[in-house]
Chains A and B, each alone.
Chain A
Amino acid sequence: NAGVTQTPKFRILKIGQSMTLQCAQDMNHNYMYWYRQDPGMGLKLIYYSVGAGITDKGEVPNGYNVSRSTTEDFPLRLELAAPSQTSVYFCASTHQGRSEQYFGPGTRLTVT
């Protein structure tokens, strides 16, 4: 099992550009999550999904969009990148009914 995989590992964007952060899991988990982690701020939930075709906003959704067309994949879209979106982004997943989440290695994004 590869677990949770994320691409790319690093990216530098200019202000106003767009990009998609990819996340995939091979554990047949129903629930998937996107977090951002800023220094000293902990993990903030951006969006989550409880299954294919079902997504919902987390704590900090502004400036982001998601889709979930398959159980395995949960891409995060950034439109019109802003410096405030400079962060490390983590994708996570778990089975329905479980609290323990399994994280990917992260994508380090810088917007300049």
Chain B
Amino acid sequence: QKEVEQDPGPLSVPEGAIVSLNCTYSNSAFQYFMWYRQYSRKGPELLMYTYSSGNKEDGRFTAQVDKSSKYISLFIRDSQPSDSATYLCAMDSGGYQKVTFGTGTKLQVIP
């Protein structure tokens, strides 16, 4: 079993839809949770960073962490074609900053 599982997609939604992206994990020591956005042929770009359980909102993006279920989510409201990218979840136990990444979910927002 992989430490971090992420559905690869692709996920195709119409413009304006609410998008839900998810990751599950098995290591209960993970405390720091991140979402990266990666456009085609570009480097990953940090989108959201949360510590422990709870929600964090930034504009149209909301990150949610449920440590009891070992499940994290990223919600995108009013999705735009410019949101079309691959979204990587990432998590860390806070030891030596060696982060474990999911394999990414490819999102396409259709105008």
* Residue positions of A touching B, CB distance < 8 A: 4, 31, 40-43, 45, 48, 50, 58, 90, 94, 96-106, 108
A contact residues around B103 at 8 Å (CB): 40-42
For the complex, give the distance between the alpha carbons of A75 and B92 in Å. Answer: 25
Choice from B92, B94, B101 contacting A42 with Cβ under 8 Å: B101
Note all chain B residues with C-beta closer than 8 A to A100: 32, 34, 46, 49
Inter-chain contacts of A4 with B (CB < 8 A): 43
Instruction: Give the interface SS of chain B, mostly helix, strand, loop or mixed.
Output: loop
B102 in contact with A42 (CB, 8 Å) = yes
Q: Is the CB of B97 within 8 A of A31?
A: yes
Residues of B within 8 A of A41 (CB): 103
A58: chain B residues at CB < 8 Å are 98
Tell me the smallest distance from the CB of A47 to a CB of chain B, in Å: 11
Q: Decide if B99 touches A99 in the complex (CB within 8 Å).
A: yes
Residue of B nearest to A43 (CB): B101
Chain B residues within CB distance 8 Å of chain A: 8, 32, 34, 36, 41-46, 49, 88, 92, 94, 96-99, 101-104
| B44 and A48 form a contact (CB under 8 A) | no
A48 to B99, CA, bound (A): 11
B91 to A: closest C-beta gap in Å: 8
Minimum distance in angstroms from A108 CB to a CB of chain B:
8
Select which of B44, B96, B102 is within 8 A of A103 by beta carbon: B44
In the complex, which residues of chain A have a beta carbon less than 8 angstroms from the beta carbon of B104? 42
Q: Is the CB of A45 within 8 A of B102?
A: no
Docked Cα-Cα span, A99 to B91, in Å, equals: 8
Q: How far is the CA of A10 from the CA of B97 in the complex (A)?
A: 28
